[in-house]
A = this chain, B = another copy of it.
Amino acid sequence: MAVYTQVSTEALEAFLQLFPVGTLVSAKGIAEGVENSNYLVETDSGRFILTLYEKRVKREDLPFFLGLMRHLAERDLPVPLPIANAAGDTLHELAGRPACLIEFLTGVSVTAPLSEHCQAVGAALARMHKATADFAMTRSNDLSLDGWRRLAAACRTQADDIAPGLRGQIDAALADLGARWPAGLPTGAIHADLFPDNVLFLDHTVSGLIDFYFACTDMLAYDLAVCLNAWCFSADGHDYHADLAAALIAGYESVRPLTDAERAALPLLCQGAALRFLLTRAYDWLNTPAGALVTRKDPLAYARRLAFYTGQARA
């Protein structure tokens, strides 16, 4: 959540000449998203987000992310359009980094979602899933079962330093999910990280779905499970809000009804989604140096969600 790569006004003015976007009038480094550098750029023709991709995003994944954003924006989803140059390219280089100029969308994120927000985000997610039916590119989910096993192995010896019993909880969940993880459900391009800070609202209408840098090809209902965990618990994971979950699912089904198999698999998918964020947070917790620019997120907030689904009690 910081600007890692500084871009001078002069370099930015030269970069903008690649695009039909007019003359620079303002540029501010913004603290946003995953570990990328972002600038809010204004020209005499509009506003844009300039993103420089830092080490966490793999260059070879960028065509999928940008292609998906473009696909959705062109189908009137509230997704920021990557701006193409005259040759149609959206991926460029600036200050030694892969870089992209992306449409700016207004709207604000909520930190304490209400039922209306959950209903709206469920519906937007389902619209996104329907719109990706004809999206041809694929990217495997490197944060599904195999990825969880790798992360669990990397955290195993230190997990109990975060909280006593965490290692046992992770191992038990991994064994259970390995044995029962669903197959044969409808798949497609999913967002896979649609937390409240990645959804913009104007009033209670979704005005933006942003930050597609975990998007991949996986079960559509898994995307809904990620949202149920992210939107329908208190941030610390202590409290489950059944009314918000009902609103989120109702919103989703108002656009794309779940199949019986998806509905039956939802608790298991939620368990998997809880383990996914528990593991990445635990890994970051154990591997983030003191004083780093990134705020560490509490793994236990997701250990509690996981325990909710498996019926265990945890502090």
20 A-B residue pairs with Cβ-Cβ distance under 8 Å, sorted by A, are A1-B2, A1-B3, A2-B2, A8-B112, A9-B108, A13-B108, A24-B108, A26-B106, A26-B200, A28-B28, A28-B30, A28-B31, A28-B32, A28-B40, A29-B30, A29-B32, A30-B30, A30-B40, A42-B106, A289-B291
Residues of B within 8 A of A109 (CB): 9
How many copies, total?
2
- The residue that A112 contacts in the complex, of B3, B10, B291, B293, with Cβ under 8 A, is B10
Give bound CA distance, A67 to B10, whole Å: 33
Shortest distance between the CB of A169 and any CB in chain B (Å): 29
Contact of A94 with B by CB under 8 A: no
In the complex, the answer to whether A111 meets B26 with C-beta atoms within 8 Å is no
A98-125 toward B: CB 8 Å interface, digit per residue (1/0)? Answer: 0000000011111110000000000000
A200 nearest in chain B by CB position: B26
Contact of A202 with B by CB under 8 A: yes
Residues of B within 8 A of A32 (CB): 28-29
A104 nearest in chain B by CB position: B26
Residues of B within 8 A of A3 (CB): 1, 31
A27 nearest in chain B by CB position: B108
Residues of B within 8 A of A12 (CB): 108
- The residue that A107 contacts in the complex, of B10, B25, B291, B293, with Cβ under 8 A, is B25
Residues of B within 8 A of A110 (CB): 9-10
A111 nearest in chain B by CB position: B8
In the complex, the answer to whether B108 meets A26 with C-beta atoms within 8 Å is yes
Contact of A183 with B by CB under 8 A: no
- The residue that A40 contacts in the complex, of B40, B111, B200, with Cβ under 8 A, is B40
Contact of A290 with B by CB under 8 A: yes
In the complex, the answer to whether A25 meets B108 with C-beta atoms within 8 Å is yes
Contact of A292 with B by CB under 8 A: yes
What number of A residues sit within 8 Å (CB to CB) of B?
33
Residues of B within 8 A of A28 (CB): 28, 30-32, 40
Give bound CA distance, A135 to B191, whole Å: 55
Shortest distance between the CB of A257 and any CB in chain B (Å): 31
- 6 A-B pairs closest in CB distance: A291-B291, A29-B31, A8-B111, A9-B108, A28-B30, A3-B31
Give bound CA distance, A27 to B1, whole Å: 15
A26 nearest in chain B by CB position: B106
A197 nearest in chain B by CB position: B9
Give bound CA distance, A164 to B8, whole Å: 32
Give bound CA distance, A158 to B123, whole Å: 62
Residues of B within 8 A of A202 (CB): 25
A271-294 toward B: CB 8 Å interface, digit per residue (1/0)? Answer: 000000000000000000111110
Residues of B within 8 A of A290 (CB): 291
Give bound CA distance, A29 to B108, whole Å: 12
In the complex, the answer to whether A111 meets B2 with C-beta atoms within 8 Å is no
Shortest distance between the CB of A75 and any CB in chain B (Å): 24
Known: A27-B108, A42-B106. 14 other contacts (CB 8 A): A1-B3, A1-B29, A2-B293, A8-B111, A9-B110, A25-B106, A25-B108, A26-B107, A26-B200, A28-B28, A29-B32, A30-B30, A30-B31, A291-B291
